[in-house]
Structure 1
């Protein structure tokens, strides 16, 4: 079993100040969909956010809501806080704007990590996706070192020479029941409406998105 960490951050400027995690998705708040999926493979769920109040009515009391030790450092700040407080040695990390996260894919990543890696990260269509990765709790110390250097991007964590991580390719997820791909994010209102249409069976899902700063190029 793992800990599940949802990086909720703050309201989205691109989407008019709305919290992506609280957008209605398939008749419920997006974060509720994520929590339900994470509980299939996670012993605990942690939500890292700059403001816990909007989430108090949306999550049950078993979900731990935390704030960053170092505010203003983006996803790295949330990861450091979540890793520091995690009860489990392995942490499945997702962004709060990912409507189709997959417990099956997380389990595949976790199994790859057990080969002695600090993290296991999905590589889809030639792009590495730091979100939806499974990380060792010890990565919190490395995140802190980057924060102290002024970094904010999760991709910088994977560039550290001392971090041993496994790039898990598409083929490993071939039997994943998730459709559309679990790495999709809601970057715009257009993405949101596509995802809603997919859930309603009205159209194709949103296009695959590169998360954070891509470490590869899609083909």
Structure 2
């Protein structure tokens, strides 16, 4: 079944002080790195961004939040509304080291569930997760009722939560970098070091 990668490029990057999606790692912007990784495994990639002019250089379809200033849930809703496929992978724009293999594993779970989300070390990762298009209606209802917490939204749909031990039992050896996201300047410096170490 065909799938779509949806990159959420919303947010104000207030803690970073500049647009984190456009910071460069290894000569490419973070959002380019994500788009390249998704394009290598998925036939469709779209960007959810309210400042669309910032991302036109990617040459990918762009869509804006239909619900303004409602956080990541609005981005998920906009992406699922735009998508033409049942299976979708949501990725935040500040995750430079995502794994294509892990993305495939998450998407496979959508044969039986509306969402598949990783929980690593007790932390849920709903912004590197897979969602079926039919989860859009529940997202819209939550937005209408101003229930914006994604954890709560996941309880309203058929969500498959995959924890660390189960992931290892599935034969996937993840690295912490796969879930690394950067919100502050020190985390950007850490990302640069991770990329440098990986290239050695």
- TM-score higher than 0.5: yes
Alignment root-mean-square deviation, CA: 1.7
Give me the whole-angstrom Cα distance separating, in 1, the residues matched to 2:100 and 2:88.
12
Give me the whole-angstrom Cα distance separating, in 1, the residues matched to 2:24 and 2:78.
27
Could you give the per-residue CA deviations for residues 114-150 of structure 1, whole angstroms, max 9, x where no partner exists? 2x11111111112221111100101111111011011
* Residue number in structure 1 paired with 2:161: 167
Instruction: Give the secondary-structure state (helix, strand or coil) at the position aligned to 1:168.
Output: strand
Query: Counterparts of 1:105-124 in structure 2 under 5 Å?
Result: 105-114=102-111, 116-124=112-120
* Residue number in structure 2 paired with 1:186: 182
Cα gap change, 1:185/1:133 in structure 2, threshold over 3 Å: closer, same or farther? same
Could you give the per-residue CA deviations for residues 75-120 of structure 1, whole angstroms, max 9, x where no partner exists? 1111111101101101100110111111110111122232x11111
Mapped contact 1:112–1:168 kept (Cα < 8 A) = no
Give me the whole-angstrom Cα distance separating, in 1, the residues matched to 2:96 and 2:193.
12
* Residue number in structure 2 paired with 1:83: 80
1:46 partnered with 2:43: no
Mapped contact 2:7–2:93 kept (Cα < 8 A) = yes
Q: How many residues align?
A: 195
Give me the whole-angstrom Cα distance separating, in 1, the residues matched to 2:70 and 2:109.
29
Mapped contact 1:108–1:172 kept (Cα < 8 A) = no
> Which range moved further: 46-55 or 171-180?
171-180
Give the TM-score taking structure 2 as reference length. 0.90
**Structure 2 residues without counterparts, runs of 5 or longer:** none
**Structure 1 residues without counterparts, runs of 5 or longer:** 203-219
Mapped contact 2:20–2:183 kept (Cα < 8 A) = no
Q: 2:132 aligns with which of 133, 136, 139?
A: 136
Instruction: Give the secondary-structure state (helix, strand or coil) at the position aligned to 2:128.
Output: coil
Q: 2:143 aligns with which of 144, 147, 150?
A: 147
Mapped contact 2:11–2:71 kept (Cα < 8 A) = no
Could you give the per-residue CA deviations for residues 45-87 of structure 1, whole angstroms, max 9, x where no partner exists? 1111111011112x02xx1111011111111111111101101
Quote the offset at 1:38 in angstroms: 0.7
Give the TM-score taking structure 1 as reference length. 0.83
* Residue number in structure 2 paired with 1:213: none
Mapped contact 2:13–2:183 kept (Cα < 8 A) = no
* Residue number in structure 2 paired with 1:214: none
* Residue number in structure 2 paired with 1:217: none
Higher-helix-fraction structure: 2
* Residue number in structure 2 paired with 1:101: 98
1:3 partnered with 2:25: no
Mapped contact 2:26–2:195 kept (Cα < 8 A) = yes
